[in-house]
Amino acid sequence: MRGYLITFEGPDGAGKTTVINEIIKQLPQSLQERTLVTREPGGSKISENIRTIILDPENKEMDDRTEALLYAAQRSQHVSEVIRPALVAGKVVLSDRFIDSSLAYQGVGRNLGIEEVKQINDFGTGGLEPDLTIFLDLDPAVGLARIEKERAGQEDRLEQEKIDFHNKVYAGYRELLERYPDRIKKVDANLPIKDVAANSVKIIRKQLPDIFM
């Protein structure tokens, strides 16, 4: 059985983590047993350590290129230690964020260029691409308002960025949707969680029918 990598993307506050948990519940039992949930930045010990450095609100002096390289570095470790072995073992890997976050946040949000950021990531991951990417589509202002409500005063370094940055990131995601229409599929994240999850499962069934066999 071959493995599959399905990634979840979207602006901050789109509810990816909650949606992924709900998706799992809606999958057939046999598939649940074959599924591995992971996240970025993080997913392994070293990558979680890098996550702490990247997201620490104290690290205000972090250079944009350093930030892009740290995201690529945590991904490289995550892929070699967790994702590739799982794919080899035939698992279905659901990752809360992956390369498209770097292309949108660092490539477009930080103006480093989608191509440039893709290159350092391909070096890190050996060019691993998701089989399918679900983009949880939400107005970034709505996402930030959700975060503000849930954890005001505890926002991480990226969440503390102004709305202009988050709007740029969103524009970056729209560019990626145009660039990879076969791989990235959009789901309306304004709907209740159960519906967002059900719509995501529908897309997975349509795009990757083999994993349900």
Q: At what angle do helices 114-125 and 163-179 cross, to 10 degrees?
A: 70
Nearest-angstrom CA–CA distance, 212 and 209: 6
The minimum distance between CB 81 and ligand TYD, in angstroms, equals: 16
Among 8, 71, 170, 173, binds ligand TYD (CB under 6 A): 71
| Residue among 146, 134, 142, 120 at smallest CA distance from 173 | 134
Among 112, 158, 176, 197, binds ligand TYD (CB under 6 A): 158
Q: Does 125 bind ligand TYD (CB under 6 A)?
A: no
The minimum distance between CB 209 and ligand TYD, in angstroms, equals: 28
Q: Does 101 bind ligand TYD (CB under 6 A)?
A: yes
Q: Which stretch binds ligand TYD (CB under 6 A): 18-26, 77-85, 96-104, 131-139?
A: 96-104
Q: Does 166 bind ligand TYD (CB under 6 A)?
A: no
E strands, 47-177, in order: 92-96, 132-137
Q: Does 8 bind ligand TYD (CB under 6 A)?
A: no
Q: Which helix (H) or strand (E) holds 53?
A: helix 45-55
Instruction: Report residue 138 as tokens.
Output: 């939400």
The minimum distance between CB 35 and ligand TYD, in angstroms, equals: 19
Give whichever of 156 and 175 is closer to ligand TYD, judged by the CB atom: 156
Q: Which stretch binds ligand TYD (CB under 6 A): 83-91, 95-103, 131-139, 196-204?
A: 95-103
Instruction: Report residue 32 as tokens.
Output: 């649940």
Q: Does 195 bind ligand TYD (CB under 6 A)?
A: no
Nearest-angstrom CA–CA distance, 78 and 99: 12
Nearest-angstrom CA–CA distance, 99 and 121: 7
Task: Tell me the three state secondary structure of residue 24.
Answer: helix
What is the CA 50 to chain-centroid distance, rounded?
16
Q: Which helix (H) or strand (E) holds 6?
A: strand 4-9
* Number of amino acids touching ligand TYD (CB under 6 A): 13
Q: Does 9 bind ligand TYD (CB under 6 A)?
A: no
Q: Does 159 bind ligand TYD (CB under 6 A)?
A: yes
What is the CA 109 to chain-centroid distance, rounded?
15
* Site residues (CB under 6 A) for ligand TYD, limited to 38-67: 40-41, 55
Binding site for ligand TYD (CB under 6 A): 12, 40-41, 55, 71, 97, 101-102, 105-106, 156, 158-159
